[in-house]
Amino acid sequence: MSAVTAAPPGNKPGSKDAKPGKKVSERQRPLWLLTPGGLLMTLIILIPLLLALWISLIDLDQYTLRRWVEAPFIGIGNYVESFEAGLPKSIWLSVSFAVLSTAVTVPIGIAAALVTQNAYRGRALVRAVFLIPYVLPSFVVASVWRTMLQPDGIVNETLGLGSTLWLSGPNSYWTLVLVEIWAAWPFIYLMALAALQSVDNEVHEASAVDGANWWAKLTRVILPYLRGPVLLACLLATLNHINNFTLPFVLFGAPAPDDVNVMPMLVYVTSFQGLRFGLSAAMAVISLILIAIPLYAYLRAVRLDVDK
């Protein structure tokens, strides 16, 4: 319990205050409790993030890394260069991959939630099965699909496709999308199921009394309830797709084939294989700007506070 015992002595709120209730805690805010967590987060998150901004403005590579404090300041030079170093294509790949994956997983996820809403024998088992792709670690999913999609692997064998290349060339993009869909739809399912379970029983009864057929009930009554939560899930899922490094990295290796050189791969290869740290920091900052739009929308939608 280092976090708790690290407190300075002599801070005993209750002993001095006779007044009960909220006012005691209001006046005697034990903000020192924030110190261990806050200090650590400043040290390992805030400072590195600011440093990343700084690195994007200096010419940092394997030669200057040893003495990076003295690396030359080149302003927006890295940003200009990143647009010539394949960034626009990566942005396009990342965005289309993310949007496509989200668009396909939403109907699958909602359908899965609908079929497990009503109780029946064996439902618990079906629900557990639906969670499997989600529970499996990304690197495991990528490793097994990589094995199955080898030219002499089981997928080509079963589908009779000869030795189609899934892991290089133009097909690789679709491999990435399909494996991501396979792994990511249960997230939408979970969010949709949670929303579905919060629909009041009266709503069901009312539409039964009205004699609505299942399609009318589904599209006019039930789905509107899902809109908010599913939209939120979409935002988050899209962000996760854009930031997904593990899947392309383990599926295709680094450097990735041209058609799957998504943003995280580009940044990774530029920094840790090309050793152009300044350039890749600029790319990473641009990718942050890219996700800022859905992230902003998500932050506005998510419930931050106790009262609101």
Partner 1 sequence: MTAQAEAQRLLPRPLLVTITVLLCAMVLVPLAYIVLASLNSDVGVASGEFWPSSFTGESYSKIWTTADLSTGIVNSLIVCAATAVASALLGTSTAYVLVRYSFLGRLTILRGLVGLQSIPGTLMLLPVFVLFSSAGNYLGLTVIGTRWGLFVAYLTFALPFSTWVMVTYLRGLPRELEEAARTDGASTLVVLWRIVIPLSLPAIVVSGIFAFLLGWNDVLFASVLTRPETHTAAVALQIFGSAQEGGALPVYSQMMAAALICAAPVVILYLLFQRYLVGGLTAGGVK
Interface with partner 1 in residues 38-77 (CB under 8 A):
38, 40-41, 44-45, 47-49, 51-52, 55, 60, 65-69
Is 297 a binding residue for partner 1 by CB under 8 A? The answer is no
CB of 78 to partner 1, least distance (A): 12
| Nearer residue to partner 1 within complex by CB, 107 or 170 | 107
Binding of residue 34 to partner 1 (CB under 8 A):
yes
Of the pair 48, 170, the CB lying nearest partner 1 is at: 48
Interface residue with partner 1 among 59, 97, 176, 217 (CB under 8 A) is 217
Considering the complex, state which of residue 142 and residue 259 has its C-beta at the smaller distance from partner 1: 142
CA distances from 1 to 4, 5, 6, 10, 39 (A): 6, 6, 8, 19, 16
Hey, which residues between 238 and 267 contact partner 1 (CB under 8 A)?
Answer: 239-240, 242-243, 245-246, 249-250, 253, 263-264, 267
- Contact segment (CB under 8 A) with partner 1 among 72-80, 82-90, 118-126, 169-177 equals 118-126
Should residue 194 be labelled a site residue for partner 1 when binding is judged by CB under 8 A?
Answer: yes
How many CB atoms lie under 10 A from the CB of residue 63?
10
224 binds partner 1 (CB under 8 A): no
**Rounded distance, CA 115 to CA 214, Å?**
13
Contacts of 190 (CB under 8 A, 6+ apart): 109, 131, 134
Pick the binder of partner 1 from 76, 80, 103, 140 (CB under 8 A).
140
Cα–Cα distance for residue pair 219/234, rounded to 1 Å: 19
Q: How many CB atoms lie within 10 A of CB 229?
A: 18
Candidate residues 80, 169, 205, 227; the one interacting with partner 1 per rule CB under 8 A = 205
- Closer by beta carbon to partner 1, 11 or else 96: 11
Query: Which range, of 20-28, 73-81, 82-90, 95-103, touches partner 1 by CB under 8 A?
Result: 20-28
- Give the list of residues 6+ apart from residue 286 with CB closer than 8 angstroms, or none: 79, 82, 87, 91
Is there binding between residue 288 and partner 1 (CB under 8 A)? yes
- Give, as ranges, the residues between 72 and 101 that touch partner 1 (CB under 8 A): none
DSSP one-letter string for 231-268: HHHHHHHHHHHHH--HHHHHHH-SSPPGGG--HHHHHH
8 Å CB contact between 203 and 120: no
Shortest reach from residue 298's CB to partner 1, in Å: 7
Q: How far apart are CA 253 and CA 176, in angstroms?
A: 12
Instruction: Report how many residues bind partner 1 under the rule CB under 8 A.
Output: 123
7 binds partner 1 (CB under 8 A): yes
Rounded to 5 degrees, φ, ψ at 108 are -65, -45
Q: Which two tokens stand for residue 26?
A: 């209001």
Interface segment toward partner 1; rule CB under 8 A; list 72-80, 81-89, 96-104, 228-236: 228-236
Total length of the chain:
308
